């Protein structure tokens, strides 16, 4: 089972301390423990998986254009 990052996207009431909270867990854990209503403002909680970008270790996040400019 792979742990995923989930972000709360529910529209909480102003001043709710749980607004925008992120949780790590599997699909089963999210359904069992984190479904229902927010204990801070009593609105239905909505979770979305965070999109994770795949970065290759060889790239180090630097585009090829930067390398071509450095070679000049």
Question: What pTM does this model have?
Answer: 0.54
Q: How far is CA 6 from CA 16, 48, 65, 66, in A?
A: 18, 5, 34, 34
Q: How far is CA 24 from CA 11, 28, 47, 48, in A?
A: 20, 12, 11, 11
Quick one: tokens of 16?
A: 């709710």
| Tens digit of each residue's pLDDT (9 = 90 or more) over 9-66 | 888 899 888 888 888 888 888 888 788 888 889 999 888 887 765 555 555 555 555 5
C-alpha to C-alpha distance for 6 and 34, rounded to whole angstroms: 10
- Domain-wise residue ranges, the chain: 1-50
């Amino acid at each position: 089972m792979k742990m995923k990052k989930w972000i709360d996207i529910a529209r909480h009431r102003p001043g709710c301390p749980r607004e925008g909270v992120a949780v790590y867990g599997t699909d089963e854990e999210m359904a069992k423990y984190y479904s229902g209503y927010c204990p801070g403002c009593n609105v239905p909680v909505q979770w979305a998986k965070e999109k994770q970008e795949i970065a290759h270790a060889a790239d180090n996040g630097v585009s090829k254009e930067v390398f071509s400019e450095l070679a000049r």
